[in-house]
């Protein structure tokens, strides 16, 4: 898996990993991995661990999962943030949060093959993107690609995913960490809001299980936000998410069932989460409250 590039740049100043995606953090103080790091130092004294980067799955991953486990015929858009609300977002914080929210709504419309709505949300994403500094990532040509692929949901999803990833990269490259963290937070909360709008509680529902598993994603997202908590807007979101984390912490755990599949590499161990109806309701209510505080809706 080696790649030869003709224009490899000599970079003596770049002593280590320099790119940050979801927030990097010094290894020291990372309690979760302290034992693992100690092990590594013992094995290879000359190697230096630099940073831990906290990654967050894209909103599209959750939405694709919902579709694949039974939501193929869903066309409901009633719970999405109305495109008309865009005019209400005048400060940088609400613009960034709702850029993430609208990007998720755009992804939803693409994945569930609601083409006309996808076009509408693309235009909102484009307008907000211009305002938060990612205009280079959302070129007008993308709109033509969208219009040309309205009947092709797979292509639509690829195009809208590209919009999200390109925006992510543009914010990262321009060192707009606080804005990036707000975008990621907005997209994540909207994906949960959509999921909980579609799924009724059923302990065995794959969507409900996936919602409970967001406990892990929320942990990563909070670590990511902490990197920028000196920013007042990020600090406010961090406080809300930390409060939500306390509800996720109440979900019970049990040992995962060992796999009997001998044909695949299976990472064993771990814990399965078992969410009760009351816990589910509490989380759903809090997700709704947080999300609506961002969209400025009731």
Partner 1 sequence: MKKILFSLFILSTVLMYSQASVCGQFHRKYCVVETKRGGNGGWLYNAQSKSGLFNQGSTSKIRCVIYKGMDYRINVCCETAIGDKLTYKIFDARTSELLYDNSTAQNEPLFEFQSTASRQLIIEVTVPNGATSQDKHKPMEAACVGLLIEHKVTERQGFSQY
* Binding test (CB under 8 A) with partner 1, winner from 6, 12, 29, 116: 12
Min dist CB 84 to partner 1, Å, is 29
Min dist CB 4 to partner 1, Å, is 5
Question: CA 25, 26, 27, 31: dihedral to nearest 10 degrees?
Answer: -70
The secondary structure element, H or E, covering residue 252 is strand 252-255
Q: Is 246 in the site for partner 1 (CB under 8 A)?
A: no
* Binding test (CB under 8 A) with partner 1, winner from 6, 78, 257, 262: 257
Residue whose CB is less far from partner 1, 78 or 265: 265
Contacts with partner 1 in 43-82 (CB under 8 A)? 44, 46-58, 60-61, 64-65, 68-70
Q: Is 297 in the site for partner 1 (CB under 8 A)?
A: no
Q: Which of 43, 38, 111 is nearest to 71 (CA)?
A: 111
* Binding test (CB under 8 A) with partner 1, winner from 203, 249, 256, 289: 256
Find the part of the chain contacting partner 1 (CB under 8 A) among 121-129, 141-149, 239-247, 263-271.
Answer: 263-271
Long-range contacts at 31-37 (CB < 8 A, ≥ 24 apart): none
Residue whose CB is less far from partner 1, 149 or 191: 191
Q: Is 18 in the site for partner 1 (CB under 8 A)?
A: yes
d(CA 183, CA 93): 9
Min dist CB 234 to partner 1, Å, is 19
Q: Is 268 left (phi over 0), alpha (psi -120 to 50) or beta?
A: beta
Alpha carbons within 13 angstroms on the beta-carbon side of residue 252 total: 8
Contacts with partner 1 in 96-155 (CB under 8 A)? none
d(CA 298, CA 291): 10
The two structure tokens encoding residue 152: 């092709």
Q: H helices of 112-152, where?
A: 115-132, 140-148
Q: Is 15 in the site for partner 1 (CB under 8 A)?
A: yes
Q: Is 26 in the site for partner 1 (CB under 8 A)?
A: no
The secondary structure element, H or E, covering residue 164 is helix 153-173
* Binding test (CB under 8 A) with partner 1, winner from 130, 202, 243, 272: 272
Q: Is 229 in the site for partner 1 (CB under 8 A)?
A: no
Find the part of the chain contacting partner 1 (CB under 8 A) among 131-139, 225-233, 259-267, 290-298.
Answer: 259-267
For residue 285, count other CB atoms closer than 10 A to its CB.
Answer: 12
Residue whose CB is less far from partner 1, 11 or 232: 11
């Amino acid at each position: 898996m080696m790649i030869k590039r003709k224009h490899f740049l000599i970079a003596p100043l770049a002593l280590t990993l320099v790119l940050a995606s979801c927030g990097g953090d010094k290894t020291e103080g990372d309690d979760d991995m302290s034992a693992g790091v100690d092990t590594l130092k013992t094995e290879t004294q000359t190697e230096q661990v630099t940073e831990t980067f906290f990654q967050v799955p894209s909103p599209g991953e959750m939405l694709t999962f919902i579709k694949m486990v039974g939501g193929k015929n869903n066309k409901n858009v009633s719970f999405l943030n109305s495109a008309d609300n865009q005019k209400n977002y005048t400060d940088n914080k609400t613009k960034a949060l709702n850029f993430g929210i609208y990007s998720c709504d755009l992804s939803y419309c693409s994945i569930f093959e609601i083409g006309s709505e996808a076009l509408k949300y693309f235009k909102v994403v484009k307008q907000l993107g211009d305002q938060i500094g990612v205009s280079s990532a959302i070129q007008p040509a993308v709109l033509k690609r969208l219009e040309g692929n309205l009947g092709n949901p797979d292509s639509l999803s690829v195009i809208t995913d590209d919009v999200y990833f390109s925006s992510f990269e543009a914010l990262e490259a321009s060192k707009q960490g606080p804005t990036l963290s707000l975008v990621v937070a907005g997209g994540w909360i909207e994906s949960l809001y959509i999921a909980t709008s579609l799924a009724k509680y059923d302990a065995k529902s794959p969507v409900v299980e996936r919602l409970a598993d967001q406990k892990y994603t929320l942990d990563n997202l909070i670590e990511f936000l902490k990197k920028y908590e000196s920013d007042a807007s990020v600090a406010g979101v961090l406080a809300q998410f930390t409060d939500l984390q306390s509800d996720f912490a109440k979900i019970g755990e049990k040992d995962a069932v060992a796999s009997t599949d001998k044909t695949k590499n299976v990472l064993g161990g771990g814990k399965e989460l078992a969410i009760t109806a009351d816990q589910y309701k509490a989380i759903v209510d809090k997700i709704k409250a947080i999300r609506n505080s961002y969209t400025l809706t009731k």
